Amino acid sequence: MSFESREKLLTDEEWYDTARAKVNSFINELDPHLRAEVGPATVTNDKKVYDTLALSFTSDEDPNLKWTMEIGKDSDYIENKLESVVRKIYSKRKSGN
């Protein structure tokens, strides 16, 4: 089975577990106190409210440094874009913007 075929069979939980594994590959160099978990989240977007899975980030050191994000459920996003998105959000949150 090709990766593309396998990719279509992944559940939302498997996508988020894959994304968390990717985040865990660089998160300690970004901030050793930062943690990423997969869990349920309620999203309000353009006046729509829905429940979904999300990556939730928290800091053991800074209780104000936290955010939740959805991911693109495809290998290109996880392998090539996720790290830069997390780093950008972290930098903005850390600087207070």
12-66: pLDDT as tens digits: 999 999 999 999 999 999 999 999 999 999 988 888 999 999 999 999 999 999 9
Cα 24 from Cα 35, distance rounded (Å): 8
Tokens 């996880």 sit on residue = 78
Q: What pTM value is reported for the model?
A: 0.85
CB-facing half-sphere around the CA of 76: CA atoms within 13 A: 1
Cα 41 from Cα 70, distance rounded (Å): 9
Q: How confident is the model at residue 7 (pLDDT cuts 50, 70, 90)?
A: low
